[in-house]
């Protein structure tokens, strides 16, 4: 390892760019791109900052949730996700869109012990619960300012000397990871002092069980088949069967849930929230019965297709980088989000309509046609077409059965020589 690598963190962003450019023989264009995407403010958000990696952002339209219409910013590299979210939303409009309700909005943290006398721990926590909560809150009094409060303190025996003290907190407007860590640290020190036993660690859990959102929707059959109710009834029946498969088969459940997360994550990223936490809690919840299952389910009722999705969602409107990433702030304004409850609900609503669009496409024309239209553009860009050349190149690519990158490059070269 050379000196620059060892002292990489002491270099300025400009010096790091210069070093990397030399090391990896980046071209002048590449160096310019890396430099032009960098900002001084974002250099403060990660260690060893080099540049800012950008992803496309689109706006999903048509979503009506709890009788309010939304325009939803979605950040994703996957073609057709934004179009599918808009189409999924459109299908639910006849019947009032999506209805969302919050089943809980709290975060749980754990103080983890090994080699502890569980009875001693349980008795101490039970006898001193009020005082322990009061002292924990003293570590982060601004919790109250954000509309939060401490809820429960529970002791769990994890067998063989392992135990967890679970602190559940309503974190108010903040996502609350930092708040929780402060509260846990305070509690950990108190427990260590009084029990004479040092806990292994204290950390929030991402299981999300205390923060569930439930969304439902109805879809009339005609909406599933371009106005043809009879054909739509068949589509609805096949969606129900595919939904049932996601309850039985893990392989299908994973892909079913991936489609839901296409919508959820794109919105979570757009709002500057922690999508890894959202993913982890979603999959843990999907496996809560001991078998991994599809998160959204679809059934036939009242001569309609009925969808339901319940999943953990614990996003923040303040704190973390939600305030420091300028686009995250703008995106909240675009989505017209008033509070954290609405933010969490909108993410889950988007997951349900995204799933609807995916399942409908899968049981009717398949996802390929929707995907391909946008994949052609991808191919054209990958071949080196400028935005102005993309439209012409896409028209040529569409005429081929399975165009490859080599085809795109060849056709682009033809286009360029034609225009000379």
Nearer to ligand MEV, 79 or 109 (CB): 79
Nearest approach, Cβ of residue 361 and ligand MEV (Å): 7
Number of residues this chain uses to bind ligand MEV (CB under 6 A): 10
Query: Is 299:309 a contact under the CB 8 Å cutoff?
Result: no
Other Cβ atoms within 10 Å of 101 Cβ, number: 14
Retrieve residue 177's tokens: 């990871």
Catalytic residue among 258, 336, 365, 414: 258
Smallest separation, CB 20 to ligand MEV (Å):
32
Q: Rounded to an integer, what distance in angstroms lies between the CA atom of residue 171 and that of residue 165?
A: 18
Residue number with CB closer to ligand MEV (298 or 376)? 298
User: Does the CA dihedral 396-401-404-407 come out positive or negative?
Assistant: negative
- Contacts of residue 244, defined as CB under 8 A and 6 or more positions apart, other chains included, come to none
250 makes contact with ligand MEV (CB under 6 A): no
Q: Which of 61/362 has CB closer to ligand MEV?
A: 362
Nearer to ligand MEV, 194 or 258 (CB): 258
Alpha helices in 336-404 (DSSP H): 340-363, 368-382, 387-398
Q: Which is nearer to ligand MEV, 259 or 320 (CB)?
A: 259
**Residue closest to ligand MEV (Cβ):** 259
Site string for ligand MEV, 356-375 (x = CB under 6 A): --xx--x----x--------
Stretch that binds ligand MEV, among 136-144, 197-205, 279-287, 355-363 (CB under 6 A): 355-363
Q: State how far the Cα of 272 lies from the Cα of 370, in Å rounded to an integer.
A: 28
Beta pairing class for 68-75 and 57-65: antiparallel
Question: Which of the 8 DSSP states describes residue 401?
Answer: S
Q: Does 116 bind ligand MEV (CB under 6 A)?
A: no
Whether 365 is a known active-site residue: answer no
Given 95, 274, 304, 314, which residue is catalytic?
A: 274
Instruction: Give the end-to-end CA distance of the chain in Å, rounded to a whole number.
Output: 50
Least distance between ligand MEV and beta carbon 307 (Å): 13
**What's the Cα-to-Cα distance from 20 to each of 11, 28, 29, 35, 43, rounded to whole Å?**
12, 13, 14, 12, 16
Contact at 8 Å (CB) between 124 and 194? Answer: yes
Q: How far is the CB of 214 from ligand MEV (least distance, A)?
A: 20
Residue with tokens 């909560």: 133
Element (H, E) at 219: strand 212-220
Please list every residue from 43 through 82 that binds ligand MEV, using CB under 6 A: 78
Could you say which of 101, 255, 299, 324 contacts ligand MEV (CB under 6 A)?
255
Residue among 316 and 370 whose Cβ is closer to ligand MEV: 370
* Annotation says 114 is catalytic: no
CB of 354 to ligand MEV, least distance (A): 8
| Secondary structure class of 340 (helix, strand, coil) | helix
Cβ(396)–Cβ(411) under 8 Å?
Answer: yes
Q: Is 371 designated active site?
A: yes
Q: Does 258 bind ligand MEV (CB under 6 A)?
A: yes
Residue with tokens 């407007």: 173
Q: Is 140 an active-site residue?
A: no
Least separation in angstroms between CB 359 and ligand MEV: 6
Pairing of strands 212-220, 149-157: unpaired
Binding-site member from 179, 262, 297, 344 for ligand MEV (CB under 6 A): 262
Which residues in this chain contact ligand MEV in the complex, by CB under 6 A?
78, 255-256, 258-259, 262, 358-359, 362, 367
Which residues are annotated as catalytic? 78, 258, 274, 371
């Amino acid at each position: 390892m050379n000196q620059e690598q060892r002292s990489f963190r002491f270099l300025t962003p400009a010096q790091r760019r210069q070093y990397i450019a030399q090391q990896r023989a980046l071209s002048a264009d590449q160096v310019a791109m890396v430099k032009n995407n960098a900002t001084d403010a974002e250099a403060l958000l990660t260690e060893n900052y080099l540049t800012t990696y950008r992803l496309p952002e689109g706006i999903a339209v048509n979503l009506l949730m709890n009788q309010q219409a939304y325009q939803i910013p979605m950040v994703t590299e996957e073609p057709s996700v934004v179009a599918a979210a808009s189409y999924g939303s459109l299908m639910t409009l006849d019947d009032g869109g999506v209805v969302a309700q919050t089943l809980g909005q709290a975060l749980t943290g754990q103080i983890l012990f090994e080699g502890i006398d569980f009875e001693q721990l349980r008795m101490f926590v039970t006898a001193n619960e009020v005082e322990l909560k009061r002292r924990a809150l003293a570590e982060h009094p601004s919790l109250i300012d954000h509309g939060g409060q401490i809820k429960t303190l529970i002791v769990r025996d994890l067998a063989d000397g392992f135990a967890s003290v679970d602190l559940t907190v309503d974190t108010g407007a903040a996502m609350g990871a930092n708040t929780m860590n402060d509260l846990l640290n305070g509690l950990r020190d108190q427990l260590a002092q009084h029990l004479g036993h040092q806990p292994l660690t204290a950390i929030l859990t991402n299981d999300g069980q205390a923060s569930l959102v439930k969304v439902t929707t109805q879809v009339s059959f005609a909406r599933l088949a371009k106005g043809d109710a009879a054909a739509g009834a068949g589509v609805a029946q096949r969606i129900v069967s595919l939904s049932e498969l996601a309850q039985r088969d893990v392989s299908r459940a994973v892909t079913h849930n991936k489609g839901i997360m296409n919508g959820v994550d794109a919105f979570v990223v757009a709002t500057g929230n922690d999508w890894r936490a959202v993913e982890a809690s979603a999959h843990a919840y999907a496996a809560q019965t001991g078998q991994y299952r599809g998160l959204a389910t679809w059934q036939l009722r009242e001569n309609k297709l009925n969808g339901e999705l319940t999943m953990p969602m614990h996003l923040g409107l303040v704190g973390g980088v939600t305030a420091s990433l300028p686009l995250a702030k703008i995106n909240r304004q675009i989505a017209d989000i008033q509070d954290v409850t609405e933010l969490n609900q909108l993410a889950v609503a988007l997951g349900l309509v995204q799933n609807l669009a995916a399942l409908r496409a899968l049981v009717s024309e398949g996802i390929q046609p929707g995907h391909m239209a946008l994949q052609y553009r991808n191919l054209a860009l990958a071949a080196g077409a400028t935005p102005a050349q993309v439209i012409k190149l896409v028209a040529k690519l569409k005429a081929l059965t399975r165009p490859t990158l080599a085809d795109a490059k060849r056709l682009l070269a033809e286009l360029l020589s034609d225009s000379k």
